Chain A
Amino acid sequence: AQSVSQHNHHVILSEAASLELGCNYSYGGTVNLFWYVQYPGQHLQLLLKYFSGDPLVKGIKGFEAEFIKSKFSFNLRKPSVQWSDTAEYFCAVLPSSGAGSYQLTFGKGTKLSVIP
């Protein structure tokens, strides 16, 4: 079975600082990878996704993530965070082989607090 590890429980940054949130997964086959964000009181929103092709994927609001297959990693980055990025960020994996399994496996989440 697959699993996802997010290394940081809570990250506190000042505005304009650069962000990198770590995500590692374990699974023997090919995967689809996702980052979701949850702003306070709101639903989980898809930030970006990787299915295949260019391992550097760009998402909404200036976020990007790089899939490094050899490291089983899919770290989230943003060059300059804003106060409005304060939220909880979840990394998730889905085996791409299908076989009827569409359940996402999530990491524990990383809470990001951006100080103005």
Chain B
Amino acid sequence: EPEVTQTPSHQVTQMGQEVILRCVPISNHLYFYWYRQILGQKVEFLVSFYNNEISEKSEIFDDQFSVERPDGSNFTLKIRSTKLEDSAMYFCASKRREAKNIQYFGAGTRLSVL
């Protein structure tokens, strides 16, 4: 069964550094998402991406965040200057156009900002 793949599984960075979290969605999927879960809190929506542009984003997704689909297979989330409060588990998800709202998730990347 195809899966959404996320790398790395754990990323440790210093405050102020840029990080790029990588995701390989399922190959025939057209909608892509990032969510995050701060320890002990809810999984929160960050951004959705379709047809090479952001279709929706939450208040969390400020100017420090950006997403890109650089090569037709990868889907990346960049945080330009990390803050302590960016420490969280980041989940990527993807969906087929016909899938009637079923999103498939990766295992997540745990980001630790020191």
Contacts and interface: CB of A to CB of B under 8 A. Distances in A.
A100 B42 contact: no
Among A36, A51, A103, A109, which residue has the most Cβ atoms of chain B within 10 A?
A103
B26 to A, nearest CB: 11
A75 interface: no
B20 interface: no
Contact of B42 (A46, A101, A106): A106
A104 interface: yes
Interface stretch (B11-19, B70-78, B80-88, B94-102): B94-102
Contacts of A4: 42
Nearest to B9: A41
Given A43-B3, A43-B107, A100-B56, A106 B43 contact: yes
Contacts of B108: 43-44
Contacts of B104: 43, 46
B94 to A, nearest CB: 11
Interface residues of B, number: 28
B56 A101 contact: yes
Interface residues of A, number: 25
B43 A90 contact: yes
Contacts of A49: 102
Contact of B48 (A96, A103, A105, A109): A103
Interface of A: 4, 32, 36, 41-46, 49, 51, 90, 92, 94, 96, 100-109
29 contacts: A4-B42, A41-B107, A43-B3, A43-B6, A43-B104, A43-B107, A43-B108, A44-B93, A46-B102, A46-B104, A49-B102, A90-B43, A96-B101, A101-B56, A102-B31, A102-B48, A102-B56, A102-B101, A102-B103, A103-B48, A103-B56, A105-B45, A106-B35, A106-B42, A106-B43, A106-B44, A107-B42, A108-B41, A109-B42
